[in-house]
Structure 1
Amino acid sequence: MTSSFPTAANNLSTLYEQDYYLWLETTARLLQEGQLSVLDVANLLEEIEDMGRSEKRAVYSNLKILLIHLLKYSYQSEKRSSSWLASIVEHRQRLKKAFKESPSLQPYFTEIFNECYQDARELASAETGLEIERFPVETPFTPEETLDSDYLPD
């Protein structure tokens, strides 16, 4: 089977800069056809590495947002809203889906949990107008509670 896509590696490298989507299609087709020697390996490796970083950034972001809303839910009980609750549910779902699709991200979740909490603590203070000291330095939530669909802070 012959491809109608560009096949010279230097053309692929140029294509990467000029039309990213076409580069993706071409690279996928070349992989399907087993034309490995023609691949733009440098850019392909960069994209694969970036995909891993992107997955980690998504875990970090979802966890931080989840922790912010758990803090707000806990420390501003008089202002609890359905949007806070919806955000808690949504970001739990996103994290659970990420772990289902990529179980190897779970150790990363544990690794960044405390760092995320510190960022969430700072943002929760900014969003609520409460002094940062109002929020405990040590997280009041365990990683398990954070992901538990039935858990809400008192």
Structure 2
Amino acid sequence: MTQINDIYSLYEVDNEKWLAATITMLKEQQLEHLDLEHLIEELEAMSRRDKLTVESFLEQIIRHLLLLQYWKSEHQYNANHWQAEIISFRTQLNEYLTKNLRNHLQENQDKIYQKALKYVNKKTGMMVEFPLECPYTIEQLLDENWLP
């Protein structure tokens, strides 16, 4: 079996070994031996995962900011918990964040806000009136020290 067939077979059998072999080929500039089909597939999947991950963290931050700012009847009992969650999600988000992912969040902030709004409306039993549009800038959402 040739090296090209080996790398294609390896992808189906052991993804970690395939990835290590692909990285080695890239470092050694053995581009003619790359499994381009699977490499492209993996890069596209990685991009999707990263985008979904940062979107999820931002949605959690928005949820907790909304609860902290607007759910007054629960504020006394839950404010510390909500603030701790905001800190945790911001910390995790900042570990993933790149300039491109930050731009992605900014471009998709409205969509992410609508998902967060749907959640907090259900959580509060729609007893609280939340803004229809995100009241926070991307800078505020990402600022580890900012709270409303």
Q: Displacement, 1:133? A: 6.5
**Aligned counterpart, 1:78:** 76
**Aligned counterpart, 1:3:** none
Whether 1:10 aligns to 2:10 is no
**Unpaired segments ≥5 residues, structure 1:** 1-5
CA deviations on 1:122-144 (whole Å, 9 max, x unpaired) are: 11122x33317622212222222
**Cα distance 1:143–1:116, how it changes in 2: closer, same or farther (>3 A)?**
same
CA distance in 1, matches of 2:77, 2:125: 13
Counting aligned pairs with the same residue, the percent is 34
**Cα distance 1:122–1:79, how it changes in 2: closer, same or farther (>3 A)?**
farther
- Match for residue 146 of structure 1 among 137, 141, 144: 141
Q: Which amino acid aligns with 1:22?
A: K
Q: Which amino acid aligns with 1:119?
A: K
Q: Which amino acid aligns with 1:113?
A: Q
- Match for residue 24 of structure 1 among 15, 19, 28: 19
Q: Which amino acid aligns with 1:147?
A: L
Q: How many residues align?
A: 145
CA distance in 2, matches of 1:31, 1:132: 56
Q: Displacement, 1:81? A: 4.0
TM-score relative to the length of structure 2: 0.85
**Cα distance 1:66–1:97, how it changes in 2: closer, same or farther (>3 A)?**
same
**Aligned counterpart, 2:104:** 108
**Unpaired segments ≥5 residues, structure 2:** none
**3-state SS in 1 of match to 2:108:** helix
Q: Which amino acid aligns with 2:101?
A: L
CA distance in 1, matches of 2:2, 2:26: 12
Q: Displacement, 1:57? A: 1.2
**Aligned counterpart, 1:131:** 126
CA distance in 2, matches of 1:83, 1:61: 19
Q: Displacement, 1:75? A: 2.1
**Aligned counterpart, 1:91:** 89
